[in-house]
Amino acid sequence: MSRQKFSLVTDVPLILWLTFVWGALWQDFGAGTLIFGLVIAFVVVNFFYLPPVGLSGRFNILAFLSFSAGFLVDLVTASVEVFWLAVTRGPALRNAVVAVRLRSHSDLIVTATGHATSLIPGSLVVEVDRATSTLYLHCLNVSTEEDAEAMRATVRKSEAAFIRIMGTKEELAELRAEGSVS
């Protein structure tokens, strides 16, 4: 099955990415490898049909870098925290399943937020309600409503970061409006 039409926003980043993967796998970024990779990427994108991803067409590299730095810091602190919980609390641990309502209805943003949340130790996406874009998270060591509220704030903060990185202009405007109100 081939695609209906060639879309610049969706296909070009995908082809460039696949060419990079090809070069990385061969550990060789010479012209020959890259051109062959480009041909293969083109064939793959055109013959193996995937559901289209709703890209917004914008990507803020600065927001991405600042999010990545924060993500790495969170990753280290949370990994140490889970280690510490495993050693000190162990069987006495109390957890919670917390619902987090997200602002965005874009599949990409919801998926990215879910991924980032799952990657940070201490929270795990158990269920996603796509209609209301609600994530249900299983969180380690949550015993009070305040802990749950803190968890929700963290997730919504990482969602805001993803909207700044690659959300649509409308979502970005809503986010700014919300920021100026509160």
Partner 1 sequence: MLSDVVVSILLIGGALMSLAAGIGLVRFPDLLSRMHAATKPQVLGLLLFLLALALETGSWPLIPLLVLCWLFQLLTTPVSAHMVGRAGYRTRHLRRDLLTIDELDDVVACAVVEVDRQAPPHEADPVEGREDHDRRGGVDH
Binding residues for partner 1, rule: CB under 8 A, are 20-21, 23-25, 27-29, 75-76, 78-79, 82-83, 85-87, 90-91, 93-99, 114-115, 118-122, 124-127, 129, 136, 138, 140, 142-145, 148
Q: Shortest Cβ distance from residue 163 to partner 1 (Å)?
A: 19
For the CB of residue 143, give the shortest distance to partner 1 in the complex, in Å: 5
Distances in Å between the Cα of 134 and the Cα atoms of 41, 111, 126, 127, 128 are 35, 11, 11, 8, 6
Are residues 129 and 136 in contact, defined by beta-carbon separation less than 8 angstroms? yes
Pick 32 or 91: Cβ nearer partner 1: 91
Specify the residue, 115 or 169, whose C-beta has the smaller distance to partner 1. 115
Q: Which is nearer to partner 1, 65 or 173 (CB)?
A: 65
Question: Three-state DSSP class for 123?
Answer: strand
- The Cα 114–Cα 38 span in angstroms is 31
| DSSP string computed for 109-145 | HHHHHHHHHHHSTTEEEEEEETTTTEEEEEETT--SH
State whether residue 136 is helix, strand or coil.
strand
CB of 91 to partner 1, least distance (A): 5
Of 90 and 179, nearer to partner 1 (C-beta) is: 90
Min separation Cβ 88 and partner 1, Å: 10
Nearer residue to partner 1 within complex by CB, 8 or 61 = 61
Distance CA 177, CA 182 (A): 9
